[in-house]
Amino acid sequence: MPDYAELETVLGHTFRERALLEQALRHASWCNEQPQAGSEAKLEDNERLEFLGDAVLDLVVGHHLMTRYPQLREGELSVTRAQVVSEAGLSEVAAQLGLGQWLMLGKGEEKSGGRTKPSILADAFEAILAAVYLDGGFNAAQDMVSRLLAQRIETVEFKGFYDFKTRLQETSQARLRATPTYRVVQEQGPDHDKRFVVAVTIGEEEWARAVGRSKKEAEQMAAAEAHFRLEGSDVGIRPKKK
């Protein structure tokens, strides 16, 4: 196993189980190219850690935003969080940390510039956050996010909260030559306190879902999340993971 002391210093966390950090750096393309000896189990890539890291990131950033900006309403908090945790933002932080040089990539990804691809860098950041969470608990994950995303949280954009449907339409038509569509997929709660779950679809792919007190609010929040996913995409088509 490589010496990850330098990376641990950058992350601000010393692992008790470095195997977690190593898994967080293993891209699926690398794992698929490794030979297997007999019944030896295939090395696991970082996709499951990325799934967990995404949830941890939403929780930690949501907590920070509620504390830092008590004046924001539920919908505004959701839109603000979407900006902070967007692929473009996370990949920028990952690049500043130099995560690309530590990644284990397959030959094809290596040749195509995988070490600088926003999607791969953002996924690796989330996987590493999950590794920190599993190794050191919630406080360790919270400390990492506080240090590494503090500037993004402090400088997040607060204008135009409820114009994201227009912004998404402009972006999707320019990049995908398609217009977003919205549909209510679920209604929650009693009539006097109902919540609407709205999904936004571009082409045949669902890009985001959001919950709001009204259909209009849910549509705007779903549009916001989809907008930031699409805006930060390095290939133009990167729908929300199912």
Catalytic residues: 54, 126
Q: What is the 3-state secondary structure (H, E, C) of 54-118?
A: HHHHHHHHHHHHHHHCCCCCHHHHHHHHHHHCCHHHHHHHHHHHCHHHHCECCHHHHHCCHHHCH
Q: Which residues pair with 181 in a beta bridge?
A: 201
Please state, in angstroms and rounded to a whole number, the distance separating the CA atoms of residues 150 and 96.
Answer: 14
Q: Which residue has the tokens 């406080």?
A: 139
Please state, in angstroms and rounded to a whole number, the distance separating the CA atoms of residues 208 and 231.
Answer: 13
